[in-house]
Amino acid sequence: MLKIRVINGPNLNLLGTREPQVYGNTTLESIENILRREAGEYGVKIEFFQSNHEGAITDCIHEAANTGCDGLILNPGAYTHYSYAIRDAIAATGIPTVEVHLSNIHSREDFREKSVIAPVCLGQVSGLGAVSYSAALFALVKKLKEARAGGSREG
């Protein structure tokens, strides 16, 4: 059974009340419940982690590699734009990762447009609100299952 870990960075514990005009009204708990249901439908195990601390997120990525996690869905929050430690943890562990954002980081303030994390990820989903997580889960599961089957079906 595939095992996927969803990692959320700083301030995502405040979803539902934090700037709803930007991030929506859906809570992190609601997103986790949606993903649990979807993961069950895909036949994969899913686990969740949230921290406001860069080192804890880096440690969580390392621990995921050490416990046989097959893939990550990562919303690094503000760390997206400057955390080389998180970027390097993904690169060092080699865990297939999809970066996710609720808002469209490419249409916001200039400093939010650049992700230092994206170059070491399979892909990035942003701007779809809570649906960004579902899209990331779908894509990651598909890519992992294709890899297990021995090939990619990209076209």
> Catalytic pick from 23, 42, 79, 106?
23
Instruction: Tell me the backbone φ, ψ of residue 63, rounded to 5 degrees.
Output: -65, -35
101 is an active site residue: yes
> Containing H/E element for 139?
helix 131-148
> Catalytic pick from 42, 79, 82, 101?
101
Residues 6+ apart with CB under 8 A from 77: 8, 9, 10, 11, 12
23 is an active site residue: yes
Cite the active site residues. 23, 101
